[in-house]
Every structure is written in structure tokens, then in C-alpha cells.
């Protein structure tokens, strides 16, 4: 066969393959949502969510949460690997054979004291599920139940990723490093959205969420009496000028069309009204929508802190994200999966409930998966008429509308079940085409 002709035919086949994956019609969606809304199924999910909510655990400490997950998977007859990434659980539903597709839920809570007064309030002082991860775990378990009941229809294997330490701990990095996703062809994830109407989803192709990192600096001067500042070297004054100068990085050094954020959220120094301390510690976060902008911002943060400290006769040391708080990449949705997502979500929720959105400066370590696997992340709404002004995530007053649970379970299950069908059908067509040409 002429080489150029062979290359052209491979290109045509590849194009048809991508087209089919992105425009296929959902076969399971309506049925899955009806199942998830059934009273018994819904009550089961609510019970799990409340149990997890009452016992919130921080990153890599999700031992009780992990146990709840494994108990439910055991009841469903779903096999799993544990431990993965310390406390994580990775389950498997389907044929056990390729192709493999994954869905992910994060498990960890936040160091917040819950201020919502209700029967199932957090029982652990200073810890709370204030970002909806208890609902994320529950919806993934709901999807596992749906998929297990329909496992005979799955044309491949669904990988269920219950991931620890999303809130700054980089749990996704450890999951990837474990190798459990080595043969996965695509991965899907969601996040609850208090501002989006119940049953609506919102996302976009390409850049969705910012990359993020942390920094901490110790600015050291010379302590002394507040009444004779000339005998001291004031690190508080130096640190104050550092904070102001860091804000100029975005306002005066960044293209206004290239969104970036620098926030100093930690400022610690001194313990008395009449004593200039020896040192001050500041810290914060920085975010950008591209790796290039992110690394440039990192460089300038260090230069500004050290430079401003020097101007005020102080010394400064700067530390950036560590193993415990790693850099999180930009969340970038796969273009082909976006088309596929729109079609399946339209079938599950109705086309009018599938919305587009602008990028957000928040970050998500789901992006770690997207660096090695085609991935798609989206937001699922839970706002109702009775909750017109919902509290945002990461607030001690954050509340989950439990009516969201069936929608999340059905979306998870529909995305992966249909993906397996379409990708296997496409591979079959590829094989037949290749065989006929030979």
C-alpha cells in the first residue's frame, strides 16, 4: 500500500473515531436518573451522606470515611483496591477488561467549626465538610450501585476513584503515582455548585480552573522596645510593605487579559503592644491560568519579598509549595470530552440544563489526572427557590441540598457507561476497517 494513502486513511479513521465519541447518543441516562430518584435509593444515599458529614476528616486522615466506602462497596459486591494514597479506595465495576474509564470523588473535609445547627451537624470540633466532599463520595457510591446493577451491560470497566486530600494535600498526585489509573482512557469529575440551579450543570472546554501554589516567608529584623524604634529593625513594617508590593504584581506587571491572583492570607508577628518582634511570618496563595504565567508569578513573588525586606534592612527566606502542599496544575478540559459531556448531560438533565461558564480562579487537583489522562470536570447545581442566597463553599455556614444526590449519581453513571459503549463500538469499527483494508 502507498505510504501516503495509508497515513491519510488512518487520519480519516481517527477523525471518525473522535466524532463518534463526541456526538454519540446516551443509552442509559434517563433510566439511571429515574433509578437514583427512587425513594429507597435516595434515602440510602442521604444516610451515607449524613454519616460522613457527622465525622469529617482532614486530608490523609479519612480513615472512617474510607471504612464507610469499603463497607458500602462490600455490600454492593464491588471489588476495590485499598489503601491507595494512604486512605483512598479505588473500585472496579464491569467486565474487568479494557477499555477502562474512571470517575472520581474527593473525600476530605476542612478545618472549620460548623455553624449550621441541624441534627447531623459535625461531631468533630474544628472540622467540617464545607466543600461538599461528603456529597461527592455519596454520589460516587450511588453511581457504583447503579453501575453494579447494570454491570452486564458495561462494555469494559469503570474505575471508581475515592481520593483523599484534595484540599491542598495533592491526593491526586499520589493516586496517579500508585499506577492504578495506568490503562484508563478518560476520567470524569464533578463539584457541587451552591449558586447553580438544582439539576443544572456548567462547564467549558479548555481552561476551566487556575493552577495554584502556596508561599510562606519569614522576614527577620531586630526586636526592641516600641518606644525606641531606632534601636530596632522593624520586620512588621517590612512585611507590611511586602504585602502592598505583592499586590502590584497583578495590577502593574500582568496583562489585564491574563488573569492572575496573589493573596496574602497569613500575617503573624509580635505578641505585645510595646515590643517590636524579631520576625514576622506571612503566607498566601498565587494562581494563574497558564504554567508560564504561574512560574513567572512565583519568581516575582520571591524577588519582591526578598527585595522589600532588604530595603527595610531585614532578611527574608521564602518557601513555596512542599510535598504536603504541592503546586496544583491548571484544570484543562479535553475538547472531545466536552462535546461528549454536552450530549450525555443533555440526555440526563435536558439540553436547557447544560450551561457554559467562564473560567474560575479556584483550583482543583483533578487537574493532576488531566495531565496524564483525557479528563473532564464540571459543576452540578443545587440551588432552589427556598435557597435563593446559598452560602458559598469553604464557609462554616455551608449546607448541602441533598436533592442534588440523584443527579450526581446519574450523571456519573451515565457518562462512564455510555463512554464504554461508544469507545468499544468505535474500536470495533476501527478493527473492521483495518481488517477490510488488509
Annotated binding site for Mn(2+): 131, 133, 167, 191, 394
Q: Specify whether the CB–CB gap between 243 and 305 falls below 8 A.
A: no
Do the bridges between strand 206-209 and strand 375-383 make them parallel or antiparallel, or are there none, so unpaired? unpaired
Classify 421 as helix, strand or coil. helix
Question: Rounded to an integer, what distance in angstroms lies between the CA atom of residue 193 and that of residue 204?
Answer: 15
How many other CB atoms are found less than 10 A from the CB of residue 37? Answer: 15
User: Rounded to the nearest 5°, which phi and psi values hold at 195?
Assistant: -95, -5
Question: Rounded to an integer, what distance in angstroms lies between the CA atom of residue 365 and that of residue 169?
Answer: 9
Binding positions: 131, 133, 167, 191, 394
Q: Alpha-carbon dihedral of residues 321, 126, 89, 154, nearest 10 degrees? A: -100
Question: Rounded to an integer, what distance in angstroms lies between the CA atom of residue 159 and that of residue 416?
Answer: 9
Question: Rounded to an integer, what distance in angstroms lies between the CA atom of residue 109 and that of residue 361?
Answer: 21
H or E element, residue 287: strand 279-288
Q: What burial letters (b/e) apply to 267-279, b meaning 16+ CB within 10 Å? A: eebbeeeeebbeb
Question: Rounded to an integer, what distance in angstroms lies between the CA atom of residue 248 and that of residue 250?
Answer: 5
Cβ within 8 Å of residue 173, ≥6 positions away: 326, 365, 368
Amino acid at each position: 500500500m502507498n505510504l501516503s494513502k495509508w497515513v491519510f486513511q488512518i487520519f480519516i479513521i481517527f477523525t471518525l473515531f473522535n466524532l463518534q465519541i463526541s456526538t454519540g447518543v446516551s443509552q442509559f441516562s434517563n433510566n439511571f436518573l429515574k433509578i437514583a430518584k427512587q425513594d429507597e435509593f435516595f434515602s440510602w444515599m442521604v444516610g451515607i451522606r449524613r454519616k460522613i458529614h457527622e465525622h469529617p476528616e482532614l486530608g490523609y486522615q479519612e480513615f472512617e470515611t474510607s471504612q464507610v466506602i469499603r463497607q458500602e462497596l462490600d455490600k454492593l459486591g464491588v471489588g476495590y483496591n485499598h489503601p491507595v494514597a494512604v486512605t483512598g479506595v479505588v473500585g472496579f465495576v464491569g467486565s474487568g477488561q479494557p477499555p477502562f474509564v474512571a470517575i472520581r470523588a474527593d473525600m476530605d473535609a476542612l478545618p472549620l467549626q460548623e455553624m449550621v445547627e441541624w441534627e447531623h451537624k459535625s461531631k468533630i470540633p474544628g472540622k467540617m465538610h464545607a466543600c461538599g466532599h461528603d456529597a461527592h463520595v455519596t454520589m460516587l457510591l450511588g453511581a457504583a450501585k447503579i453501575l453494579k446493577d447494570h454491570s452486564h451491560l458495561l462494555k469494559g470497566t469503570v474505575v471508581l476513584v475515592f481520593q483523599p486530600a484534595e484540599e491542598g494535600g495533592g491526593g491526586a498526585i499520589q493516586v496517579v503515582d500508585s499506577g492504578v489509573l495506568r490503562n484508563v482512557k478518560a476520567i470524569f469529575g464533578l463539584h457541587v455548585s451552591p449558586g447553580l440551579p438544582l439539576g443544572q450543570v456548567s462547564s467549558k472546554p479548555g481552561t476551566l480552573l487556575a493552577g495554584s501554589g502556596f508561599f510562606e516567608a519569614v522576614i527577620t529584623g531586630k526586636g526592641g522596645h516600641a518606644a525606641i524604634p531606632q534601636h530596632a529593625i522593624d520586620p512588621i513594617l517590612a512585611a507590611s510593605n511586602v504585602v502592598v508590593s505583592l499586590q502590584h504584581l497583578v495590577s502593574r506587571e500582568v496583562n489585564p487579559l491574563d488573569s492572575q491572583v496573589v493573596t496574602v492570607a497569613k500575617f503573624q508577628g509580635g505578641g505585645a503592644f510595646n515590643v517590636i518582634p524579631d520576625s514576622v511570618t506571612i503566607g498566601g496563595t498565587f494562581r494563574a491560568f497558564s504554567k508560564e504565567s504561574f512560574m513567572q508569578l512565583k519568581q516575582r513573588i520571591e524577588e519582591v519579598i526578598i527585595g522589600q525586606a532588604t530595603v527595610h534592612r531585614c532578611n527574608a527566606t521564602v518557601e513555596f509549595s512542599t510535598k504536603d502542599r504541592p503546586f496544583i496544575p491548571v484544570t484543562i478540559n479535553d475538547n472531545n470530552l466536552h462535546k461528549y459531556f454536552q450530549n450525555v448531560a443533555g440526555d440526563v438533565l435536558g439540553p436547557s440544563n447544560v450551561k457554559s461558564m467562564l473560567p474560575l480562579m479556584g483550583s482543583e487537583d483533578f487537574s493532576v489526572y488531566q495531565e496524564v489522562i483525557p479528563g473532564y470536570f464540571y459543576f452540578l447545581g443545587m440551588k432552589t427557590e427556598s435557597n435563593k442566597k446559598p452560602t458559598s463553599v469553604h464557609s462554616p455556614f455551608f449546607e448541602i441540598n441533598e436533592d442534588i444526590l440523584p443527579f450526581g449519581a446519574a450523571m456519573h453513571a451515565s457518562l462512564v457507561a455510555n463512554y464504554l459503549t461508544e469507545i468499544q463500538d468505535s474500536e470495533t469499527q476501527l478493527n473492521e476497517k483495518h481488517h477490510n483494508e488488509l
